[in-house]
Structures are given as structure tokens and as C-alpha cells.
Amino acid sequence: MTQTVAKITTPAQVEEFLAQYDDFLFDCDGVLWSGNHLLPSVVETLEFLRSRGKRLIFVTNNSTKSRKAYTSKFAKFGITVSKDEIFGSAYSSAIYLSQVLKFPKDKKVLIVGEAGMEEELAEVGIQTVGGTDPSLRKVEASDEDLANLAYDPTIGAVLCGLDFHITYLKMANALVQIQNPSTLFLATNIDSTFPTHGKLLPGAGTIVGTLVTSSGRTPVSLGKPSGAMMDSIKAKFKFDAERACMVGDRLNTDIAFGRAGGLGTLLVLTGVTKESELEGEPPVVPAYVIDKLGSLYEYLH
Amino acid sequence: MTQTVAKITTPAQVEEFLAQYDDFLFDCDGVLWSGNHLLPSVVETLEFLRSRGKRLIFVTNNSTKSRKAYTSKFAKFGITVSKDEIFGSAYSSAIYLSQVLKFPKDKKVLIVGEAGMEEELAEVGIQTVGGTDPSLRKVEASDEDLANLAYDPTIGAVLCGLDFHITYLKMANALVQIQNPSTLFLATNIDSTFPTHGKLLPGAGTIVGTLVTSSGRTPVSLGKPSGAMMDSIKAKFKFDAERACMVGDRLNTDIAFGRAGGLGTLLVLTGVTKESELEGEPPVVPAYVIDKLGSLYEYLH
């Protein structure tokens, strides 16, 4: 390990850390909460940061919820946020399709994923198919269903994210579209797992992986640690990267994302990455590490 | 390409080819049929080979059907075969578990796949869970279903194959088991796609890939081109490898499998591999290539 990691364990270290940054970008799952369980002292820490004049931006690879739906999740935990403080991978995908790709209005995006993706794409005026369509959510696909699958030239892109309702029919339909090289292939994010209920369950990368394996193609990923997502965030929030800190629980997405964007980084140990992984030679290291986000508040109070 | 491929296009070349082999191992999908469509002159070719005293062995990575169920598929096409002429990857897995691993009688195998896997394992006296169990075949898994997933120490192995009824709940349940390193992780086969209805749809490798991506583990594969499968076939049929020929439609499974086992190889162009792929530098080349299996008969009649 060629870079040193500063572990925050005292009030003085918290103050020194806070003095360096004006903007805090937070990963959510594994940092603020784990599944449906709020992590300790998170509400107090966020209120404390706001009271110190810090700006909060919640960056999440969760593609299953739109930003609007995601505010309800915060509210359920007693955290008040506005839709505009949230930057999710479904929104990032919508921005990329509409602003970067100038996706044509007469074409459709086939969604493999949940309602959040449909909602964010609809908000920027992009037509979608698939997604929550019940006709693809059946576990018993008939031989006729499979025989009838065909390339649809009105589908300009396949966007794949985490899909709790994945079926063979969905995989097969999406595969048939991306077997045509002119169909764009995008992923909201490629996290292989996500932390929930104290477990690591299959993440978007596992669903996306079914299309990668079967097609041999690699998608453009619009979630952390993709530079495309960082560029969109910077364009929207216009912060000074050196005065901003990415807070996350995962080395290969959150911390890599912050480092690549030139931001400070804080690893919390309440999610995927364990402290032992910092020993040896991890591919990327955070500038700071702390046992949990809430300790920023607890050490000072 | 350092090795030459002999293309069979004349009656004399057919006779020269046939004179070299006593045993013919056939891949099925893409060689005998494509999905539900029998390929031309296949019945005549198989009868002709039998009339010449050749032994026929049908080797398939299809894990969804047991050998017994697979005989019905042959019968539907007017091909008469006995169960013992068939060697499928579900059977290969059962042989590997019972004979090689001496899988304990008091443990269970969690199946991600179809009835063929359950049937072959039951035939060798191995207890199974999962598979066609309707409680895992639901597309709407509840939050409670996911919260309740837990490592089950009575499950000694996870065996994954092609599953037309894959669900998020199945993936998550299998993942939770193989996250424990003491749980064996086996795959019937790892073909990324399979040919059906004139298309390439997601294969066992795509389903297995969900567990590979999410767990970071690599399974032992019991299908072509695994050496474990070839060893089992040789032990059962006791043929002379030099006098046996593997016939298949796919370079990276069938032809690699035959070559690694020291057999002759014949590529047919009615399935996955296209003739153009033999140009350039493919990782493996067949000894012979023919447009379709049925041409062996047609050229002589």
C-alpha cells in the first residue's frame, strides 16, 4: 500500500477532517442505512453537517427508485432531503441518454429493471418499454413466447439495472435486441451485490452480467464509479472537487469514484468493505476511514 | 491457423472420414436439431451409421431434461435411442457428485435449474432442494422472503444449470449458500447461449454467471468441454479415443472437448459456429468440417 489511510478516532481528527471540505457526497446503502435499518447517529450527523454549512449530495447506484421515490425512503428514516439533493443511477442514465446521446424521440429504450428507471426516463421525455410490463414478468415463459422474440428496430437502446423481477423471458428479449450491434447497451451501474438485511444479495451487476455473458458485449455504465456519472454531478452541482468529499462503503465503486473525480474520500465500515481489506494491496484506498458515519457526530458530542 | 481443417464435400471424402472411426459422439442441439426443428437427413444419417456398425453416443450439455426424458425428444423426431446411449450434463453432474465426490447421503444439493437435474440426482440417491420447488419460482419475492434467506448447513452443494424459471429469489438463495466457502459450487455446463427457434438465447452459462458475478466464485463445470465429463464418458463406454469422433456445432465446447480427450472432431455448420470463424486464428480447430450432419448420408445416396 503506497498511500496512507488516516483513521478517524478522535474529536480533533473529526474537526481536521471537516475543515477540509464544503461539499459531502454520500453513498446511501451501507452508509446511511443497511436495507431497511437506519445506521446509528446518521440523522444527527447529517443535521450537524448542515449546521456547519456543509452541502449534502446523496449519490446512489440504486436504480430501482426514482429521485422522487427516494425522498420517501429518507423521510421514513427521519431524514429530510429534497429531490434535487439526490443523484441516482436511474437519473444519471436519463441525463446521459437525453443530454449526452441526444437519444432520438422516435425511438424507445428497453428497460430491464424497476419503476425508478421508467420514471426518470419519462421525466426527460424518453419512451420506454419493458420495465414493469407484466407481460415480461412471468416466470413461466412458453415456447411460443421464446419463438416470437425478435429484434425490434424501434428499440434504440437497452438499459439494464437491478431487477428484482428478472425472468428468463426478460433476459432473452433484451439479448435478442443487443445481438444487433446498432442497439445501444447501457447499465445503470455494475455493482455485483448490494447490502440489505445484513446480507449481500445480487446487485445490478449480476443482472447486467446475464446480458454481458450471453451477448459478449460490455455496456456503458452510468453509475459509480463511471466518470460519466461524476461529470453529470459536477455539471449539476458545480462544486470545487478539492473541497468535496465522497463518503462510501465500497472501495471499488465509491472510493474509486471519488478518487477518479479528484475528490477527498471517506470509507465507512458499515457496508461492503471490511477494514481488513485495507491491509495488503487494495487497488484503491480512501484518504480517510471511520467505523461508521455517525461517529463524526458522536466523537464531538 | 497452424492446423488444417479438412472440409468434407465429396462421397470419397465421406468414406475416408468414416473409415477412421468406430464410435461417434454427437452433440444434439445444433447438430441433430435446432430447437424443435429436426435438421435435414439426420434420421437417415444415424441409421446409415448404425448400418455400418458404428456406435452412437449422444452427449449433450442440455441439463433441463433427464436422459429418460431426452429419449422422448429423440422419439418425437423419429430417432430411436436408448437411455444408455445418452450422456447429458445433469447425468454427468450426478455421476460426479456420487462417484467422484462421494457426496454424503445426509446432505442436500440445492438445484438452480430444471427437472432433469432433480431426476438424475434422485436416480443416484442424492437429496435435492430448490429446482422446480414452486416457492422459489415466484417473480414477486417479498422483502420478508429476502430477509429470511439464510445459510443452510444441510445444503452441501449448489448445482446450477439452465433455468427457464430463474427468479431473483432463486439467485439470492443460492448466493447466500455459496457465500459460505464450505458449500460446493458446481455447474452442469457453462455455455453462454444455446441455439433454439433460429436464435441464440441465454444458456446455462448465463444463469451460472449470476452466481459467479455475485459470489466471486468459479464452479466446477460438469459439461463439455470439462475433462470431468470426458472421463465419465470414457469410463462408461470404454472406447478407443483415437477411433472415436466428437461431432459438434461449437468450437469452444464440442470441438475443444473432443480435442482435449484425444478424439477426432467434426464441426457441423448448423449451429453456433459459422464457417467464417475458422478463418483467422480460432483458439481450437476441428479435424473435419461439413455443412450439416445429414450431408454424410446425402453425399453417398
- Nearest Cα neighbor of B193 from A150, A218, A212 is A212
Indicate the pLDDT class of residue B1, thresholds 50, 70 and 90: very low
> Do the Cβ atoms of A214 and B199 come within 8 Å?
no
Interface A-B, measured as beta-carbon pairs within 8 A, has a size of 109
> Do the Cβ atoms of A175 and B141 come within 8 Å?
no
> Given this model, what pLDDT does residue B149 score?
97
> Do the Cβ atoms of B201 and A166 come within 8 Å?
no
Q: B163 and B251 in one domain?
A: no
Q: B260 and B169 in one domain?
A: no
Q: Which of A190, A221, A252 delimits the end of a domain?
A: A221
Which ranges of B216-269 would DSSP assign to H, the alpha helix? 227-237, 256-260
Residue A179 with chain B: CB contacts under 8 Å:
200
- Nearest Cα neighbor of A96 from A185, A31, A191, A16 is A185
Question: Is B205 in the A-facing interface, judged by CB distances under 8 Å?
Answer: yes
> Given this model, what pLDDT does residue A2 score?
52
Q: B275 and B185 in one domain?
A: no
Q: Which of A189, A221, A253 delimits the end of a domain?
A: A221
Cβ(B247)–Cβ(B27) below 8 Å? yes
Q: Is residue B240 flagged as an active site residue?
A: no
Q: Please check the confidence at residue A132 and state whether its pLDDT lies above 70.
A: yes
Cβ(B83)–Cβ(B113) below 8 Å? no
Separation between Cα atoms, residue A152 and residue A149, nearest integer Å: 9
Q: Each residue of B57-97: pLDDT tens digit?
A: 999 898 999 999 899 999 999 999 999 999 999 999 998 99
Q: Each residue of B231-244: pLDDT tens digit?
A: 878 877 889 999 99
What is the bridge-based pairing of β-strands A264-268 and A127-130?
Answer: unpaired
Residue B167 with chain A: CB contacts under 8 Å:
139, 166-167
Give me the interface pTM, i.e. the ipTM.
0.84
Mean pLDDT score, A27-52 = 94
Q: Which of A170, A191, A221 delimits the end of a domain?
A: A221
Q: B103 and B153 in one domain?
A: yes
For chain A, the domain total comes to 2
Q: Which of A139, A207, A214 sits opposite B193 (nearest CB)?
A: A214
State the residue range of the domain holding A37. Answer: 6-61+225-298
Q: Each residue of B167-198: pLDDT tens digit?
A: 999 999 999 999 999 999 999 999 999 888 88
Q: B216 and B113 in one domain?
A: yes
Q: B275 and B175 in one domain?
A: no
Q: A174 and A146 in one domain?
A: yes
Mean pLDDT score, B201-228 = 95
Q: pLDDT above 70 covers what percent of chain A?
A: 99
Q: A121 and A178 in one domain?
A: yes
Mean pLDDT score, A137-142 = 92
Neighbours of B19 (CB within 10 A): 8
CATH code of the domain in which A204 resides? 3.40.50.1000
**Interface probe with B: pick from A37, A65, A139, A142, most Cβ of B within 10 Å:** A139
Q: What is the mean pLDDT of chain A?
A: 94
Residue A73 with chain B: CB contacts under 8 Å:
none
Q: B141 and B207 in one domain?
A: yes
The response to whether A27 counts as a known ligand-binding position is yes
Question: Is B132 in the A-facing interface, judged by CB distances under 8 Å?
Answer: no
